[in-house]
């Protein structure tokens, strides 16, 4: 039976970005979170999957996946904003 021992806790607001974060930090966040989410979602199909977990563990597992996806979207949004801001600064600089 699968367990949540190796699953990281839901990140919540772990990707609250400060103005000091640069584009490389944001790219690292996206890459890390995407790889973690890919690994978690790989366990959702096949013979050993989340369906063997209790309802509570399934909910928590999918909650962690959802939080990671939200972190990725937030980091991508912030990355796009940083790039737009930098482009404007270069044009007016």
Tens-place pLDDT, residues 29-71: 999 999 999 999 999 988 878 889 999 999 999 999 999 999 9
* Residue 27 contacts residue 15 (beta carbons within 8 Å): no
What is the structure's pLDDT at 13? 46
Q: How far apart are CA 67 and CA 9, in angstroms?
A: 10
Residue ranges per domain, the chain? 23-92
**Taking a C-beta distance cutoff of 8 angstroms, is the pair 25, 75 a contact?**
no
Counted residue by residue, the chain has a size of 93
Statement: residue 76 has pLDDT above 90 = yes
Q: Which residue has the higher pLDDT, 12 or 2?
A: 12
pTM above 0.75, yes or no: no
Rg (CA), the chain: 17
């Amino acid at each position: 039976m699968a367990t949540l021992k190796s699953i990281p806790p839901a990140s919540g607001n772990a990707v609250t970005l400060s103005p000091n974060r640069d584009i490389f930090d944001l790219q690292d966040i996206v890459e890390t979170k995407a790889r973690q989410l890919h690994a978690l979602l790989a366990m959702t199909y096949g013979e050993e999957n989340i369906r063997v977990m209790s309802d509570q563990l399934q909910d928590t597992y999918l909650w962690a996946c959802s939080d990671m996806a939200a972190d990725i979207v937030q980091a991508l949004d912030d990355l796009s904003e940083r790039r737009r801001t930098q482009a404007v600064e270069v044009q007016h600089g």
